[in-house]
Chains A and B, each alone.
Chain A
Amino acid sequence: MAWKITLFVLMCFVIVTGISFPIVLHPTSWREFPIIPGLEEKAKIIFFHVPTAWLSVVAFLMAMVYGIKYLRNKNLDDDAKSSAALQLGMMFSILATITGSIWAKFNWGTFWNWDPRETSIFILLLIYGSLFALRSAIDNEDKRARLSAVYSIIAFLTVPFFIFIMPRIMLGLHPGSLEIDPTTNKVVQGTNPVVDFKMNGSMRLVFFVSLFAFTILYYWMWSVRSKAIIIKENLSKKIN
């Protein structure tokens, strides 16, 4: 119970600070965030949009881990846990896409720009979307679990490439992508707001607390979801 209260408090902290702390030119107290040129108030999306994208990676990783576990012990409960992680991963990917797209309309001009990160999440949605089609097409529980486990392992191998590598080696709009330096007209490595000094201490604190709080929230949602799937399967076994 203690961790649930911690989650509630941390998330309230993120919401209160992330929404109400003003963005000013020269922050003088910890209750102010610095201005990031070109983003202004819109920089606050980082507290809510990045955690959803982060959770989709965590969820797909967990789906793979429980997939491997299933292949080792052939315990259907592990398949249920893997499936719950897949569902949440898909949900958070869709949320990251929608929130990013709304933001892009106001910062980059259009809802969709085929930026490398947008393209990569689109491909990930296709890859994981077809896993749901695969799962729903097979009636035999063991066969479904085995195929889904193998698929989730292979699918996860593409995730580091799509999330961490591809957006950093191509020209793009997201922070961290390559960009053209307006003064020299040369392609340079873009700045990553998490790593460089555009974010001040309090902004970074709120960002990392947000990542942490969202991860706990994900863990809770995942445990509720997998419990529900396991109960459903046990019940249907009893009835049939």
Chain B
Amino acid sequence: MEGGFLGFLEKNSIYIVLFIVLVIWSGIFLFLLNTDKRLKAIEKELKEK
């Protein structure tokens, strides 16, 4: 692999793990955000009926 960012990642592979964990955390965060939003909407709908 040539130099640059990809070359850096190849030599310091812990940063690959770091990015993977960050992506997983973002996914979990967005999922929680979404679930919370949906539950609030259902709660509101139940109260109105």
Instruction: With A227-B43, A231-B46, A235-B46 as known contacts, state yes or no: A15 contacts B29, CB within 8 Å.
Output: no
The answer on a CB contact under 8 Å between A11 and B25 is yes
Mask for A224-240, Cβ within 8 A of B = 1, else 0?
10011001001100000
Q: Is A102 positioned at the interface, with any CB of B under 8 Å from its CB?
A: no
Residue in B15, B29, B42 whose CB lies within 8 Å of A8: B29
Q: Does A19 contact B (CB under 8 A)?
A: yes
Chain B interface size band reads 10 to 19
Within 8 A of A (CB), among B30-49: 32-33, 35-36, 39-40, 42-43, 46
Q: B18 in the interface, Cβ–Cβ < 8 Å?
A: yes
Contact of B14 with A20 in the complex, beta carbons under 8 Å? yes
Residues of B within 8 A of A11 (CB): 25, 29
Apart from A15-B22, A224-B39: 18 A-B pairs, beta carbons within 8 A = A4-B29, A11-B29, A12-B22, A12-B25, A15-B18, A15-B21, A19-B14, A20-B14, A20-B15, A220-B32, A220-B36, A221-B32, A224-B35, A224-B36, A227-B40, A231-B39, A231-B46, A235-B46
| Residues of B in contact with A (beta carbons under 8 Å apart) | 14-15, 17-18, 21-22, 25-26, 29, 32-33, 35-36, 39-40, 42-43, 46
